[in-house]
Amino acid sequence: MKRGAISEEYLGTYADVLAEVSDTGRLLHRPELDSFRDLGERAAEEGHSMRQLVGLYLAETRRIWGTLPGVARVAGASERGRMGDAVLGAVEAAVSAVGEGHERAQRMAVRQEEAARREFVDDLLHGRSNLGKLAERAQRFGLHLADRHAVAVVEGVEKYEDANPVVRRIERELFGRFEERDVLLTTKDGRLVCVVGSSNAAVLEAFAELAERPGPRYRAARRVAIGREHVGASGVVRSYEEAVGALDLAEHLVLEQVRLSAAELLVFPVLLRDRAAIADLVRTVLGPLTQARGGAEPLLGTVLECSAAGYVNAAAARRLGVSVRTLSYRLERIKSLTGYDPSNSLHRYTLETAAMGARLLGWPDTEL
């Protein structure tokens, strides 16, 4: 027999227990409580809600109340009150035990789901699984890997974990505006990662904006890097690696901007493909700067800050925290030591390329 959408089998020995409690006034025994916990756990595993279970138990209490031996036997109001208190205490204990079992099953299901999600994310972002099987698993998490996807990666002032308040806020705001279809938000190696299908380009923009400005009391991202769109599961890996690579480049180059596009930084991976050539360029062009008093670092920084300021001396001097006169002296020193004149467009390009190569290779702190 069914009561609504949930079977009476989840009541177990509930009616018999209440009958005995009404007769004796005893408390529920541990084996009985364990039995109710098991019933609650099984009900959760089979998809029944706690609301359904509570409704089932309360309806059964109401149905059998008049037939309980203690109800039929007691006469005085005082005795009736003691009996009612004992039975209601048993109802509370039984329902509480059922609830514990239900919550236990839900916690286990959540842990299993999180483990499966984490395994999928690791396999997806590192391309460690069979592409066909990966595509099948992706559907469970709302991704269609046959389409084009782009990946954004956020680096914070502190590591992002799944329970981080900023992560929860971004997730809540993002999915409050957009459907979750073909969007995956997760954490990886202390960074926040968003995989988005090409049809949801607005989601990527909203994600970047939320990371940059998560709102009062939340810490903003240090940097947001966005990889290019690519097709398929391998395309997700490629876009992710581009975004992570952009973050690493920004760290080496000490870039100021918060949002980075991997497409705009493609020149740097090209430079690094031939490390021997870029190292030779750095040694040849910038090597003489080591002869300067104070070493090469101040003059190397001058080249990069002048470039960032568009070679407007007043702006470059402010960025460097020196006077315009000091800046002019440094530029002359760079010219005299290297033979390259920053005021010459071709020489300037060579100096800038060598300076960026130096940052990428860690020179002058690292020997080339």
pLDDT of residue 305: 92
What confidence tens digit (pLDDT) does each residue in 229-255 have? 999 888 898 999 999 999 998 888 888
Q: Which residues contact 47 (CB under 8 A, 6 or more apart)?
A: none
pLDDT of residue 33: 94
Query: How far, in Å, CA of 147 to CA of 229, rounded?
Result: 10
Query: How far, in Å, CA of 168 to CA of 170, rounded?
Result: 6
DSSP per residue, 21-59: HHHH-PPPPHHHHHHHHHHHHHHHHTT--HHHHHHHHHH
pLDDT of residue 4: 47
- Closest to 246 measured CA to CA, from 274, 230, 224: 224
pLDDT of residue 9: 93
Helical segments of the chain, H only: 14-24, 30-45, 50-64, 69-73, 77-126, 131-140, 165-177, 201-212, 232-253, 267-272, 275-286, 297-308, 313-320, 324-338, 345-361
How is residue 267 written in tokens? 């020149």
**Residue 219: helix, strand or coil by DSSP?**
coil
User: What predicted TM-score, i.e. pTM, was given to this entire model?
Assistant: 0.63
Query: How far, in Å, CA of 149 to CA of 157, rounded?
Result: 27
* Buried/exposed 68-99: b ≥16 CB within 10 Å, e otherwise: bebbeebeeeeeeeebbebbeebbebbbebbb
Per-residue pLDDT of the chain (368 residues; tens, 9 = 90+): 344 478 899 999 999 999 999 989 899 999 999 999 999 999 998 989 999 999 999 999 999 998 888 877 776 677 778 888 899 999 999 999 999 999 988 888 767 777 777 888 888 887 766 666 777 778 777 788 888 999 999 999 999 988 889 998 998 888 888 876 788 888 999 999 999 988 788 899 999 999 999 988 899 999 999 999 999 888 898 999 999 999 998 888 888 889 999 988 888 877 778 888 889 999 999 999 999 988 999 999 999 999 989 889 999 999 999 999 999 999 999 999 999 999 898 899 999 999 989 988 889 988 87
Alpha carbon of 280 to those of 63, 99, 295: distances in Å? Answer: 89, 70, 19
Query: How far, in Å, CA of 249 to CA of 328, rounded?
Result: 29
**Direct distance between the N- and C-terminal alpha carbons of the chain, in angstroms, rounded to an integer:** 81
DSSP state of 220: P
pLDDT of residue 120: 83
pLDDT of residue 129: 66
How is residue 196 written in tokens? 């988005």
